[in-house]
Amino acid sequence: MMTQNMIGKPTIIQPLFSLNMPGVDDLFPGFAPGDFAVLYGSPSIISLTSLLCVRAQLPAQLGGLGSNVIFIDGGNTFRLYNIARLAQLHQLNPRETLERILISRAFTAYQLTSLIMEKLEETIKQYNAKLVVISDIAGLFLDNDIPNEEAERVYSQIVSYLANFAKKHQTIVVATYLPYENSKRNTVLHGMTRAKANAVLCFSKTKYTKEVALEKHPFFVLGTAELPSENLTLTDFMIAEKGRNS
């Protein structure tokens, strides 16, 4: 699947794993194996991870990865209802869809570190997953009980590890960075995340529109696209699209 939205240097041979959202796909045609991508901005990215978990299970001819999914939840953001709802919209069995998502929850920064740096490699081989989602990657490291220097040091190791992991295993790794109050630590961790990711997308909401900006990518032209609808969530949008196309 080639795309015109590319700077004319390298050639992407493998099919891209897209969001399948009109307008957005024109800006960002999709993730490629080896990508470490970061989504940040609006809390709507929580719904977006549910969409990715479901679409990853579709066969390649329908734009999916035909794959199991590993979901490492750092902020208690996994939504069973969203998954079941989206599975039905994509004509998948909700129970089977949930069974193909391996969920690991972390409640401390140290648990999240262990899940990523000690267990992820073994888990991905065992589970044969082509998509890894790290939800709320930085939240646990903003805990004031963790000294600044330690939080920054360990977090830097994690994002470096994920970038190398994605390339080594030719896996798509998508991390979400949820909005938090401005602080020096938050600014530093956010900067580390952007620096190590090869794809960065920002989802934002104004009074009148919702937008996504492609802020970093090695191949695609950077820019902004308007998200569908004013007040609908991404899952609501999927329902609207299904109804319009049926």
The 3-class SS string of 182-231 reads: CCHHHHHHHHHHHHHCCEEEEEEECCCCEEEEEEECCCECCEEEECCCCC
Residue 9 above 70 pLDDT? no
Round to the nearest angstrom and report the end-to-end CA distance of the chain.
Answer: 25
Identify how many contiguous H helices and E strands the chain contains and give both numbers: 9, 8
- Using the predicted structure, report yes or no on whether residue 22 has a pLDDT greater than 90: no
- For residues 208 and 155, the model is more confident at 155
Which pTM value belongs to this model?
A: 0.87
CB of 89 closer than 8 Å to CB of 132: no
* Average pLDDT score over residue span 76-80: 91
Tell the residue number behind the tokens 């794809």, with chain if given: 199
Q: Which residues contact 209 (CB under 8 A, 6 or more apart)?
A: 226, 227, 230
Task: Identify the structural domains of the chain with CATH numbers, from first to last.
Answer: 31-206 (3.40.50.300)
